[in-house]
């Protein structure tokens, strides 16, 4: 988790990680609701804690699918900045799709993440931000050879820091915090130029899944995402994760969207 480069694959990859981790926190229903399947209570961790053990604790562990409704609230400098609802589907290890709705149920944004493509569709502007073959997947990002990992103990948490393997500077690019009892991933911090750029805090765990995620940007914007009626390990067809058709929309590089997530200088 060293200072992030402003250009290059590592910079894009780290911001893609943040966007995708944010998407991971928004999971929603892809099919008519039948039965809520609650995750069984997790057991306290027993045995040694190592870098590899902490890597395995990032994200949703052994969950195969998640479906949920979401409520999203946005704050700017502490003041309410809007709210909307969403639906999202996750299928292990690499498939994610979400949609956010504004007033009257109109779709304001869709996002698809697969190993083959990342797409963000903004219907009101007829725009699709797109990256082909991103070289990134949820099953591999925590084992990416571009990073070296260091484990530390910090008060009541374990910390796993990811550093650019090619950069000798001392600041990390990403930092993961885990509680010492269950090794639940409580917080993720993204650094830019050695400063905290984005912090994701996870609360109200249902098994291994947080039902409340808070994203705090260094420009003062905060996004709170709450699960409603989550379902786990139920069927989601692969066809749900099909590509968003271009259909006459303007296509822009995904990097253009990543710049919108960058904090104010």
How would DSSP label each residue in 4-37?
PPSSSHHHHHHHHHHHHHHHHTT----S------
| E strands, 38-194, in order | 65-76, 79-91, 95-101, 107-113, 117-122, 127-132, 147-154, 157-164, 174-179, 185-192
Who has greater pLDDT, 53 or 17?
A: 53
| 257: Cβ contacts below 8 Å, ≥ 6 apart | 19, 120, 129
Is residue 23 pLDDT above 60, yes or no? no
- Contact at 8 Å (CB) between 252 and 260? no
- Where helices occur in the chain by DSSP H, the ranges are 9-24, 51-56, 254-261
Summarised one tens digit per residue, pLDDT across range 29-81 is: 333 344 445 555 788 999 999 999 998 888 777 788 888 888 888 888 888 88
> Which of 16-20, 143-147, 204-208 bottoms out in mean pLDDT, i.e. has the lowest?
16-20
d(CA 76, CA 102): 18
pTM over the 0.85 mark: no
Domains, in order of start, for the chain? 9-261 (2.50.20.10)
Q: What is the pLDDT of residue 20?
A: 53
């Amino acid at each position: 988790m060293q200072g992030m480069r402003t250009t290059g694959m590592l910079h894009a990859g780290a911001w893609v990680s943040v966007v995708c981790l944010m998407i991971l926190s928004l999971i929603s229903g892809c099919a008519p609701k039948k039965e809520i399947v609650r995750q069984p209570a997790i057991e306290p961790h027993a045995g040694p804690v190592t870098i590899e053990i902490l890597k395995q604790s990032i994200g949703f562990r052994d969950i195969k699918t998640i479906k949920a409704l979401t409520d999203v609230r946005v704050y700017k400098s502490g003041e309410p900045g809007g709210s909307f609802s969403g639906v999202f589907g996750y299928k292990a290890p690499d498939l994610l799709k979400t949609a956010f709705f504004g007033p009257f149920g109109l779709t304001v944004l869709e996002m698809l993440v697969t190993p083959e493509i990342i797409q963000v569709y903004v219907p009101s502007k007829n725009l699709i931000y797109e990256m082909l073959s991103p070289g990134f997947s949820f099953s591999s990002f925590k084992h990416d050879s571009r990073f070296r990992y260091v484990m530390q103990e910090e008060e009541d948490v374990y910390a796993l820091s990811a550093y650019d393997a090619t950069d000798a500077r001392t600041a990390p690019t990403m930092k993961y915090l885990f509680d010492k009892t269950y090794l639940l991933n409580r917080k993720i911090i993204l650094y830019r130029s050695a400063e905290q750029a984005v912090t994701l805090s996870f609360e109200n765990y249902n098994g291994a899944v947080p039902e409340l995620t808070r994203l705090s940007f260094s420009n003062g914007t905060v996004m709170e995402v709450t699960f409603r009626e989550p379902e786990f390990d139920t069927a989601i067809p692969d066809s749900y994760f099909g590509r968003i058709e271009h259909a006459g929309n303007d296509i822009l590089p995904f990097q253009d969207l990543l710049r919108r997530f960058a904090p104010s200088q």
